[in-house]
Structure 1
Amino acid sequence: MRVLFAGTPAVAVPSLDALIAAGFDVVAVLTRPDAPIGRKRVMTPSPVAQRAAERGIPVIYGARITPEVTELIRNAGADVAAIVAYGGLVPPAALAAPKHGWINLHFSLLPSWRGAAPVQRAIMAGDDVTGAVTFQLEEGLDTGPIFGTLTETVHAGDTAGELLYRLSHSGAVLLTQTLSALETGHAVALPQQGDVTLAPKLTLNDGRITWTHPAVAISRQIRGVTPEPGSWTEFAGQRLKVGPVKSEPAVIDLAPGVLRLDGKRVLVGTGSHAVHLVQIQPAGKKMMAAADWARGLASLESVVFE
């Protein structure tokens, strides 16, 4: 079966590798254009583009799928398109280009968490279980019938990055199985069932910590936005990036946002009990131990996170 693969970030690479390893003929890759990366904003190909180059697979670049990009997709002659975190909508003309349409690997148990940030939103909501599905892509937002499903436990302490890593590998197997069933004529897609929840793309503001919220909500928020866009707070007019925290339920005498150095622990008050800050990244610096950052201050007496 001739496959067009559409994807952009690192979480899509395991699926591309799995399809190649399974013997599918990946005739082309569709990905978003090079983007500025790092402090020096160096223009860098997407992880999927880099892997395609290593494999000698032709690359189609498109920040969105224009009529010109659609024509390139059509000319690739794929029987089916597999899409994993491409980062753009697929218009009707492009949907109709491959004979078997587009099969989407989505990292949630649809119809829960339709949208761009399903894993992040699941962690922030406190879900105990999530997963991945393969489904037939339609014009609607993640509305198509489902071919296959897998489940994944959300471990205590999981960040979005860690959970996505696991799902990217187990999901790659699911995608390969789905395309194999499609090739042999055994694939069956069933309508989605259940309550719909939405997972819109995260913004920088989704990472801003409100210290009057309960500790459990703050912990979920931080883990959900780690590594991107990252959680942060303000101190002395500057933004501090905050890593995942540990709960300290025995400490209830700290007001929200107020800090205390307790041995090697940097504690900060919340709307319930304190949390232990493990890592902090001051503006313009690398991530560092919160205790080292605190010891570099003249005093914590007047420190309040905003």
Structure 2
Amino acid sequence: MRVLFAGTPAVAVPSLNALAEAGFDVVAVLTRPDAPVGRKRVLTPSPVAARAAELGIEVIHAAKVNAEVTARIAATAPDVAAIVAYGGLVPRAALDIPRYGWINLHFSLLPAWRGAAPVQRSVIAGDDITGAVTFRLEEGLDTGPVLGTLTEAVRPGDTSGALLERLSHSGAVLLAQTLSAVEAGKSVAVPQQGEVSLAPKLTIDDGRLDWQQPALAIGRRARGVTPEPGAWTTLDGQRLKLEPVLLRPDAPALAPGTLALAGKSVLVGTGSHPVELTRVQPAGKKMMAAADWARGQASLESVVFE
């Protein structure tokens, strides 16, 4: 079966590998254009583009699937299109090209968390179970019928990055199995059922920690925005980046946003019990252990996170 693969970030690479290893004829890869990376803003191919080049697969770079890109997709004559975190909408004209349609691997249990940041929103919300589905792509936002499902437990210390890494590999297997079932005529599309929730793309503001909230909510948010866009707070009007915090229900209560030392631990007050800082990054400096940062403060008791 001739497959067009659409994807951009690193989490889509395991799926591309799985399809190639399963013997599918991946005729082309659709991915976002090269983007500036690092402090020097060097134009760099997407992880999917780089892997496609290694595999000798034609690459179609496109930020938007317009008429020209649609024509290039049609020229590859795919039987099916597999899409994993491509990062753009697919118009009706392109959806109609493959005879088996477009099959999307999405990292949530639809209809929960439709949108660009399903894993991040799941961690922030405190879900115990998440997963991945394959579904037939439609013009609506993640609304198509489901072809395959897998579940994954959200572990207590999971960041969205760690959870997404696991799902990217298990989901790759699910995608390959789904395409095999489609090719064999054994796939069954089931309409989505259940409560709909939305997972819009995270912004920098989503990473700001509100110390008035309970410690549990702060911990979930810090893990949900790690690694991107990252957790942060402000101190003296400057942004201080934070790695995920630890819950410390055993520690004496502190006023929200105030700091204290407990041995070598740096504690911050919340709307419930304190949390412990792990690593912090002041503006213009590298990430460092919280205890090392605390030693550089004249008086930790006078420090208040805003």
TM-score (norm 2): 0.99
Residue aligning to 1:281:
281
- 1:252 touches 1:272 (CA, 8 Å); kept in 2? no
Aligned length: 306
C-alpha separation between the residues in 2 aligned to 1:227 and 1:219?
A: 14
Matching residue's letter, 1:33: P
Where 1:253 maps in the other structure, the secondary structure is: coil
C-alpha separation between the residues in 2 aligned to 1:299 and 1:262?
A: 14
Residue aligning to 2:214:
214
In angstroms, what is the RMSD of aligned CA positions? Answer: 0.8
Where 2:70 maps in the other structure, the secondary structure is: helix
- 1:212 touches 1:271 (CA, 8 Å); kept in 2? yes
Q: How does 1:10-49 map to 2 (within 5 A)?
A: 10-49=10-49
Alpha-carbon offset, residue 286 of structure 1: 2.1
Residue aligning to 1:184:
184
Q: Does 1:292 align with 2:274?
A: no
Where 1:294 maps in the other structure, the secondary structure is: helix
Matching residue's letter, 2:275: V
Alpha-carbon offset, residue 173 of structure 1: 0.3
C-alpha separation between the residues in 1 aligned to 2:245 and 2:124?
A: 14
Q: What per-residue deviation string (whole Å, max 9, x for no partner) do you get for residues 134-169 of structure 1?
A: 000000100000000000000001000000000000
Alpha-carbon offset, residue 250 of structure 1: 2.2
Alpha-carbon offset, residue 210 of structure 1: 0.6
C-alpha separation between the residues in 2 aligned to 1:40 and 1:256?
A: 39
Alpha-carbon offset, residue 98 of structure 1: 1.1
C-alpha separation between the residues in 2 aligned to 1:98 and 1:182?
A: 12
Matching residue's letter, 2:43: M
Where 2:302 maps in the other structure, the secondary structure is: coil
Matching residue's letter, 1:4: L
- 1:252 touches 1:269 (CA, 8 Å); kept in 2? no
Matching residue's letter, 2:91: P
Residue aligning to 2:203:
203
C-alpha separation between the residues in 1 aligned to 2:40 and 2:239?
A: 20
Residue aligning to 2:235:
235
Alpha-carbon offset, residue 284 of structure 1: 2.1
C-alpha separation between the residues in 2 aligned to 1:284 and 1:152?
A: 38
Gaps of 5+ in 2: none
Residue aligning to 2:150:
150
C-alpha separation between the residues in 1 aligned to 2:2 and 2:82?
A: 10
Where 1:301 maps in the other structure, the secondary structure is: helix
Residue aligning to 1:97:
97
Alpha-carbon offset, residue 85 of structure 1: 0.3
- 1:27 touches 1:76 (CA, 8 Å); kept in 2? yes
Alpha-carbon offset, residue 41 of structure 1: 1.6
C-alpha separation between the residues in 2 aligned to 1:198 and 1:173?
A: 25
C-alpha separation between the residues in 2 aligned to 1:71 and 1:140?
A: 22
Gaps of 5+ in 1: none
Matching residue's letter, 1:119: V
C-alpha separation between the residues in 2 aligned to 1:56 and 1:177?
A: 23
- 1:249 touches 1:273 (CA, 8 Å); kept in 2? yes
- After the TM superposition, which segments of 4 or more aligned residues of structure 1 sit over 4 Å from their partners? none
- 2:159 touches 2:226 (CA, 8 Å); kept in 1? yes
Q: What per-residue deviation string (whole Å, max 9, x for no partner) do you get for residues 254-298 of structure 1?
A: 111101122210100000010000011112222211111111222
Where 1:114 maps in the other structure, the secondary structure is: coil
TM-score (norm 1): 0.99
Where 1:68 maps in the other structure, the secondary structure is: helix
